[in-house]
Amino acid sequence: MSIRVAVAGASGYAGGELLRLLAQHPAVELAALTASESSVGRPLAAVHPHLASLAGRTLAATTPETLAEADLVFLALPHGASGALAGQLPATVKVVDLGADHRLVTEADWAAAYGGPWAGAWTYGLPELPGARAAIAAASRVAAPGCFPTAVALALVPLVAAGLLDPADLVVAAPSGTSGAGRAAKLNLLGAEVMGDVTAYKVGSHQHRPEMVQTLRAHTDAPVGLTFTPMLAPMPRGILAVCTGRLADAGAAPAAATAALREALSAAYAEEPLVQVLPEGLWPHTSSTVGSAGAHLQVTADDSSGRAIVVAAIDNMGKGAAAQAVQCANLMLGLPELTALSADGVAP
């Protein structure tokens, strides 16, 4: 018997990517596809014309009663909208939340980053973190990480945990594709505004920073200090997180430091099919991860500053959202983890 899954927020970008992956998933049956009130009753083909195999489906209203008919529900809703809805679903229904509502473990961090009622923390859904896979498999409620925090955690956690970086001195700059801002019409996302332009935004105040710090704190006993600058790039998909940190052994020769950094990353991901540490001399490209569930990493020691430079590339709609949510769902349902997922991207 197929496992029935529902998608709330099916009209958005993350919802559409979920549907693309689930449409080819051999173990699941798509139950309700729900959307906001303005889209209820619309044919899915009018919203996601690329999903030809689902062209006959219609968007339904997002209600607890509709979603409760599924075995597992994906919540691809705006931040702040998942908590109340999830609280009305039966405990027998497994839930993966792609929003931020259940990621932060303290009410103070939630209030500072998002505001409004705090819904409490769920199991954090980044399987490649130490100990995370077993926790996700045992959970009935999982919070899928944010896109920027996914890239940053994959890049920095192994190096911080190994004691190779000073966690008090971390700096991240990361351009992202426009799909990361959602599908709502916004002036700053118009083609005429974005084309030919890269700009920083929410400088010093982005809501994903507390999530990044929280994840890093879980893997070190030392204080964590992180400066994060996101940027909007003229591309639909992708994140390139350029992460730097002061080397714990600032006097190490660059070649030896680079070797130690590479060894730590390679050891952390040696058995992880979705995370690739690139061969020396090759650096991640966002274009190489488009359409994939994977991440590409590279690291070096700066020969003049005593700092490490780690670069991570992901598809913000893939490993940064929908693909990671499906990866978590597979674990929660006792299915092979990579069902319907691939580390291969699409080119050109």
HEC string for 23-66: CCCCCEEEEEEEECHHHCCCEHHHHCCCCHHHCCCECEECCHHH
Q: How far apart are CA 348 and CA 345, in angstroms?
A: 9
Position 32: which residue type? Answer: A
Looking at residue 312, what DSSP letter applies?
E
Q: How far apart are CA 78 and CA 207, in angstroms?
A: 13
Task: Looking at the structure, give the CATH architecture of the domain made up of residues 3-121.
Answer: 3-Layer(aba) Sandwich (3.40)
Closest to 98 measured CA to CA, from 28, 56, 149, 52: 149
Annotated catalytic residue within 5, 93, 98, 147: 147
**Domains of the chain: which residue ranges?**
3-121, 148-316
pLDDT of residue 122: 98
Q: How far apart are CA 170 and CA 304, in angstroms?
A: 17
CATH of domain 148-316: 3.30.360.10
pLDDT of residue 300: 98
pLDDT of residue 336: 98
- The alpha carbon torsion through 99, 315, 147, 89 (nearest 10 deg) reads 20
pLDDT of residue 1: 63
Tens-digit pLDDT string for the chain (348 aa): 689 999 999 999 999 999 999 999 999 999 999 998 889 999 999 999 999 999 999 999 999 999 999 999 999 999 999 999 999 999 999 999 999 999 999 999 999 999 999 999 999 999 999 999 999 999 999 999 999 999 999 999 999 999 999 999 999 999 999 888 777 767 777 777 888 899 999 999 999 999 999 999 999 999 999 999 999 999 999 999 999 999 999 888 999 999 999 999 999 999 999 999 999 999 999 999 999 999 999 999 998 899 999 999 999 999 999 999 999 999 999 999 999 999 999 998
Q: Are strands 72-75 and 60-61 parallel, antiparallel or unpaired?
A: unpaired
Is 147 marked active-site?
A: yes
